[in-house]
């Protein structure tokens, strides 16, 4: 198993034992997930830029945990969301696929 698949497994396991984690552990796992997603996106060629990004929601949840602004159900859902994103990006990376976005052209009909 790779470090990435190990981390995905840890996110899923921790999502299923949320009550055993303290707020610091929850925050650190989500922060690690955000960093992992960013690294995998870069590796497959996905650019970062302006606009709405679900990773910001994951990071916001990470910062909100220690303040008690998110309940365990919300944090569990965020763990599973992050695990799914990392899994998908890992699959793309393992397939050797590179993502290339071409700018929009103004097409007149």
Instruction: Give CA–CA dist 92/37, Å, rounded.
Output: 12
Size of the chain, expressed as the number of residues it contains: 109
Residue partners of 48: CB distance under 8 A and separation at least 6: 38, 41
Q: Tell me what pLDDT residue 100 has.
A: 73
What pLDDT digit, counting tens, does each position of 85-105 carry? 999 999 999 998 877 766 654
Instruction: Give CA–CA dist 11/33, Å, rounded.
Output: 8
Instruction: Give CA–CA dist 23/18, Å, rounded.
Output: 10
Query: Given a cut of 90, is residue 36 above it in pLDDT?
Result: yes
The mean pLDDT value for 7-31 works out to: 97
pTM: 0.86
Please state, rounded to an integer, the average pLDDT across all residues of the chain: 90
* Domain boundaries of the chain, sorted by first residue: 3-95
Q: Which tokens in the block code for residue 87?
A: 């899994």
| Residue 94: Cβ within 10 Å count | 11
In Å, how far from its chain's centre is CA 98?
Answer: 19
């Amino acid at each position: 198993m790779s470090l990435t698949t190990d981390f995905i497994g840890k996110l899923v396991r921790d999502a299923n034992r949320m009550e055993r984690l303290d707020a610091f552990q929850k925050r650190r796992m989500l922060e690690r997930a955000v960093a992992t997603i960013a690294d995998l996106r870069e590796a497959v060629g996905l650019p970062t830029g302006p606009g709405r990004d679900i990773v910001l929601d994951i990071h916001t949840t990470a910062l909100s945990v220690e303040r008690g602004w998110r309940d365990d159900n919300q944090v569990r859902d965020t763990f599973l969301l992050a695990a799914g994103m990392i899994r998908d990006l890992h699959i793309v990376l393992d397939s050797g696929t590179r993502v290339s976005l071409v700018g929009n052209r103004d097409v007149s009909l």
